[in-house]
Structure 1
Amino acid sequence: MDYIHLNEMEFYGYHGVLPEETKLGQRFRVTVSLAVNLSEAGKTDELDKTVNYAAVYSVCQSVVEGKPLKLIEAVAETIADEIKRKFADKVFGVRVVLVKPDPPIPGHYASVAVEITRGRFV
């Protein structure tokens, strides 16, 4: 299995349970890993033999900057679903790490995050 990684994409969205999160918004960081077969792309040097990571970036951006959801779990699941749907012929599995760097909760921590894996990863 081969992998494509899009690391720490940053977007601004309005996801959250608390009213200030949906009104003021906040930053989100997304890392996506795709389980794919890159052998044909490597041999042919042709973009149509791989997954265009600019298109994957656009999927992530549209979800995070789109319709507000309450839970980051739901945001991550929506990203995974959209990637699986749009790239079903090439992507065997998708892993999404969604980081909320500044959640409105008291305490000292770097961030909160969820990680989900859908499909086949080896």
Structure 2
Amino acid sequence: MTDRIQLTGLRARGRHGVYDFERAQGQDFVVDAVLELDLAPAAASDDVTATVHYGELAERLVAVVTGEPVNLIETLADRLLAVCLADQRVVAATVTVHKPEAPVPHTFTDVAVTMTRTRTP
């Protein structure tokens, strides 16, 4: 599949982490999502219902980030992948969760986890 919808840099505040202060204070998380699906029907019809509505996808992803806290961003990424694959037209999805405020005692630019899942028949 070569067709993709990409949503990059979606920012939301969540309370994920293994430390109590991460749960209490919260921090920003940044999500990148890539969905693989056939976009020919949408291109031919020029109809938003023939594709994944990226605005609605963003709302669902933000609801996960701002929702129930988890310890690991790996778990968060897995939950976000489930949202991406909920639409049966999506054959594969890749999600990257960035945690730019991670409690690392050294100067760093980013901590991120990337996970890819393919729909199983």
Percent sequence identity is 34
Shift of 1:104: 1.3
Distance 1:5 1:82 in 2: 14
The RMSD of aligned alpha carbons is: 0.9
Distance 2:104 2:52 in 1: 38
Deviations 1:64-106 (A, max 9, x none): 0000000000000001012212x12x10011000000011120
Distance 1:82 1:53 in 2: 12
**Counterparts of residues 66-81 of structure 1 (less than 5 Å):** 66-81=67-82
Number of the residue aligned with 1:99: 98
Q: Secondary structure at the match of 1:70?
A: coil
Number of the residue aligned with 2:66: 65
Gaps of 5+ in 2: none
Give the structure-1-normalised TM-score.
0.93
Distance 1:36 1:73 in 2: 24
Number of the residue aligned with 1:17: 18
Number of the residue aligned with 2:111: 112
Gaps of 5+ in 1: none
Q: Secondary structure at the match of 1:79?
A: helix
Moved over 6 A (4+): none
Deviations 1:25-49 (A, max 9, x none): 0000000000010011111101111
Number of the residue aligned with 2:57: 56
Count of matched residue positions in the alignment of Structure 1 and Structure 2: 118
Distance 1:59 1:74 in 2: 16
Distance 1:25 1:37 in 2: 37
Q: Secondary structure at the match of 2:6?
A: strand
Number of the residue aligned with 1:6: 7
Deviations 1:40-61 (A, max 9, x none): 1111101111111111101110
Q: Secondary structure at the match of 1:32?
A: strand
